[in-house]
Chain A
Amino acid sequence: MIKLAAMFVFFFMIAVILFYTFLLVVSLIQLRRMYELDEWEPYEEMLDVSYTKPVSILVPAYNEEAGIFATVRSLLSIEYPEYEIVVINDGSTDDTLARLKRDFDLIPMKRVIREQLKTKRVRAVYRSRKFSHLFVIDKENGGKADALNAGINFSTYPYVCSIDGDSVIERRAFLKVMKPIVDSDEDVIASGGSVRIANGCDIEKGEVVRIGLSRHPLVIMQVIEYLRAFLMGRIGLSRHNLLLIVSGAFGVFSKQWVIRAGGYAHTVGEDMELVVRLHRLIKETKTNKKIVYVPDPVCWTEAPESMTDLRKQRRRWHRGLFESLWLHRRMWFNPRYGSIGLVSMPYFLLIEFLGPVVELLGYILIIVSLILGDIYIEFAILLFLVSVLYGSLFSMAAILLEEWTVRKFSNVSDVVRLFFYSFTETLWYRPLTVLWRCEGIVDALLKRKGWGEMKRKGVSK
C-alpha cells in the first residue's frame, strides 16, 4: 500500500519536473536572446502619441487609505504619451475618498457613463483640479470585479489596465507592456507584466529608487516564489499562447474584448477567470488573438510579512484558482479549445491545483515511512529527494536564471542570500504553503466565502 502510494507520488513529481524543465529551457532561451539589449531604445518610438494607443488605468480601492496616495502618485509620473487614471472607490469604510479628495483636489463632474457592464450604483464622479487626467469614481460596495467593471464603463480609452491599490509601477512599465499590442497591430488583446515584491526596496514618491532584499525569511521565500512563477512559468507558457494568468496586479487588456467577454466576474480570482474567458472567446470566435507576458515591465507590490496573512492569502488564491477552473470545466481536456483545453487547463488543474495534494501526501508518506522504519526508510529517502528536486532545485535554478538574464539585483550579497534561502525551501517553506493551499481546497469544497483582508501598512516612504 505504502509502496504503491510512494510510487504514485514519485512518478507524478517526475512528470511535473519534466514539464518544469521544459518551461525552464524555453525561458532561458527567450531571456538570453534579449540579454544586454538596450533598455530604452526599443521603446523610444512609442513615446510619440500618434503611434501609441492610449490607456485607461483602473485602480480599484477598498479601504486603501494607507497606500492609495503612493499608488496614484506613482501612476502620475509614468512615462506614457496618453493615459488617464481612474480610481474607483468601492464603498470604502475608511478615509480613502476623503484622502483622495484632499490630496488631489477633487471636484464633482458630469460625465455620461456608458453602462456596457452592469455594476452597483455609481454615487458620483470626480475629476482632479491638479491633474487633468485623474478621475475618481465613488460607488457602492460591490467587490473588486464590480469596481473594475465600473471603471471600464467610465474609461474613455481603448485599453484598460488594472492595478492593485497598493502597488508601485516602474515609470516605463506601460511602454513596455503595451509594446506587444502596438507591435502586433492589436493582435495581442492582453499583455501582462511581472510582479515583484517591494518589501526591502526603497520606494520614494512612488518610484523604486533602490532594489533590495528584505531581511525577513518569509519575504525572501516569496521573492523566490515570484521569480520562479514569473520568469520560469509564464515565459514558457506565453511563448506558446498558453497563458491563463495575466496578473491582477499589472495587466493591460483590450477594452472591447473585455466587454465582449462580459467584463470581470465576481470570483475570488477575477484576474485569472477573465483571462480564461478571453481565451475561450478567442477559440469560440475562431480569431487569431493572443495573450502575452512581458518579463521586463515590473510592478512592485507589498508581500505579507506574517504567517497569518500569508496563510490567508494562499488559501484565497487557491480557492480562486479552483473557482476559475471549475467555472470553465467544460474546457478541461476539450480538443475544441485547442492547446488551452489540452495543455493549459490540465496543467493548472493537475499541477497547480492538485499538485499540493500530492505533495502533502508525499510529506505524510515520508513521516509514516520514517516511523515504520526498516525497508520503508528507502521510500522516505526517495520521496525526500524528489521533493528537493521539485522544490529547492527549481527555485535555485530560477534564481540563477534571474541572475543570468534579467539581473535586477545589484548587490552580490542579495543574490547569495536568495540562492541559499532557495536551497532550504523544501525543508520548511514549501510544506507550509502546501498545507495552506490544501486548506484552500477544503475551503473551496466547503464553499467558504470571505476575503481574508490583509492589513496593509503601505510600501512607500
Chain B
Amino acid sequence: MSNQLVLFTVIVITLFAVLLAIFLYLVVRKRKDGKWKREVETYKQLYEPVLFRYLAYGDEQVPAPSSSAQHVAMMELLDHFMRVLANGDVKERATALAEMYFVDYLRAQLVHRRLGRRMNALFFIEDFYLRSLVHELEAMYEQKQLTTMEKRQLLKMFALFQHPHVYEYMKQTDESFTQFDYRLILSRMDDRMFAKMVDHFFDWNEKIQYALIDMIGIMQKFAHVSFLRTLLRHEQSEYRIRALKALAEIAFPLDSEQLRIHLHSPVWQERLMALRLCARTRPYELVETMKELVKDRVFSVRSQAAEALLRMPNGLAILEQIAQTSDDRYARDMALEWLERGREND
C-alpha cells in the first residue's frame, strides 16, 4: 500500500477515535447530569413546604443552601413561586431571601465564561430586583467584550433600578439597539424618569423617539397627552402617525376639527390611525367623513373606516345603508363584512 493511503487511513481512524472519545465523555456526562437533576428534584421537594410558608406568611426560617444542587433547587422554586404567588409581600420576602443567600452565587455567575450562564444570572437579578448587585452590573457594562444580548439586558435593568446614569448609557447605544429594545427599556422606567426622557425628546435618535411615542400609548401615560398633541402639528408624518396611534390606545377624544385634518391626510397610514382613534372615541360629527373613507383606495383604510362606523351608536344602521345604497362595490362589500362581525358580537 502506498504511504499516502496509509496516512489517510490513519487520519480517518484517528478521527473515529476522537469522536468515540467525545461520545464516551458525553454519555458519562449525561448519566451524571441525570443524577444531578434527580438530586435537585429531591431538594426541591424538601424545600417546597418551607419556602412556601416563608413566602406566603413569612414565619419560617429557610436553611441556607450549601451545595450547588441546593442553590439551583431553591432558585428554581423561588422563581416558580414568584410567578404563581406574585403579590407585594411575596416579592419582598423573595428579594430578601435572594439577597441573603444568592448574591455570592450570582456574582460568580456574572463572570462565568459562558454567555448562557451570565444571562441567566442577569434574568434572576432582574426578576428578584437585587439592587445590591448594581455595582457589579455597572462594571459588567463597562467591559469591552460585552455581547449585544447582555448590553440590552443590562440597560433594561438599569432602567428598572432607576439608575441615574441611564440617560448617558442610552446616549451611547449603538445601531444594534432596536425600537423594540428601547420600548422594553422605557417600559421599566418610573414616571419621573420617563418624563425626563420625554422632556428631551428631540435630543434622542429616531428609534428612541418612536419608542417613546409608542410607550406613551401602550402604557396609557395620560400626563403626556399634551405632548402627543404638539406632535400632531409636526411636519414629519411618522410623528403624526405614531402620535395618533398612541392617542387611539389611550382613547383620547380629540376635537373633531383637528381629527378631520388627519382623516383627510394624503398619507394613508395617517388616515388609518385617525380612523382607529375614531373607532375608540366615536365622534358623531365625523360620520360623513368616515362614510367617504369606506370608499378609500387603500384596503386597510376602508376596513378601518367600516369598523369605526360600526362603533357609532347607530353603527349597524349606517353600515346597512352603505351596504344597500353605496355606489362603490368595495364599500358595499366592506360594509357587509363588518355588519356580520357586528351582529356576531351582539
A408 at interface, CB cutoff 8 A: no
On whether the beta carbons of B23 and A419 are closer than 8 Å, the reply is yes
Contact of A182 among B1, B127, B180 (CB under 8 A): B180
On whether the beta carbons of B26 and A396 are closer than 8 Å, the reply is no
Q: Which residues of A contact B15 (CB under 8 A)?
A: 389, 393
Docked pose: A45 CA to B308 CA in angstroms: 31
B115 at interface, CB cutoff 8 A: yes
Q: Which residues of B contact A114 (CB under 8 A)?
A: 299
Binary per-residue interface labels of chain A (427-446) against chain B in the complex, 1 for a CB within 8 Å, 0 otherwise: 00000000000000000000
B99 at interface, CB cutoff 8 A: no
List the A residue with the shortest CB-CB distance to B182. Answer: A185
Chain B, interface SS category: helix
On whether the beta carbons of B178 and A184 are closer than 8 Å, the reply is yes
On whether the beta carbons of A34 and B337 are closer than 8 Å, the reply is no
Contact of B337 among A51, A112, A393 (CB under 8 A): A112
Contact of A385 among B8, B117, B330, B336 (CB under 8 A): B8
Q: Which residues of A contact B218 (CB under 8 A)?
A: 50
Interface set, chain B 165-212, CB cutoff 8 A to A:
178-181, 183-184, 207
Docked pose: A393 CA to B13 CA in angstroms: 10
A41 at interface, CB cutoff 8 A: yes
B19 at interface, CB cutoff 8 A: yes
On whether the beta carbons of A378 and B5 are closer than 8 Å, the reply is yes
Interface set, chain B 30-75, CB cutoff 8 A to A:
30-31, 34
B123 at interface, CB cutoff 8 A: yes
Interface set, chain A 17-68, CB cutoff 8 A to B:
32-38, 41-42, 45, 50-51
How many residues from B make CB contacts under 8 Å with A? 40
Q: A36-B116, A396-B23 are in contact. Are A389 and B12 (CB under 8 A)?
A: yes
A209 at interface, CB cutoff 8 A: no
On whether the beta carbons of A403 and B26 are closer than 8 Å, the reply is yes
Interface set, chain A 298-332, CB cutoff 8 A to B:
none
Q: Which residues of A contact B117 (CB under 8 A)?
A: 36
On whether the beta carbons of A183 and B178 are closer than 8 Å, the reply is yes
Interface set, chain B 1-38, CB cutoff 8 A to A:
1-2, 5, 8-9, 12, 15-16, 19, 22-23, 26-27, 30-31, 34
Interface range, A side? 35 or more
List the B residue with the shortest CB-CB distance to A381. Answer: B5
Q: Which residues of B contact A370 (CB under 8 A)?
A: none
On whether the beta carbons of B12 and A396 are closer than 8 Å, the reply is no
Docked pose: A32 CA to B113 CA in angstroms: 11
Q: A110-B340, A412-B27, A419-B23 are in contact. Are A41 and B114 (CB under 8 A)?
A: no
Mind listing 5 A-B residue pairs with CB under 8 Å?
A37-B116, A41-B127, A42-B119, A112-B337, A393-B15
Residues of B within 8 A of A (CB): 1-2, 5, 8-9, 12, 15-16, 19, 22-23, 26-27, 30-31, 34, 114-117, 119-120, 123, 127, 178-181, 183-184, 207, 218, 299, 303, 330, 333-334, 336-337, 340
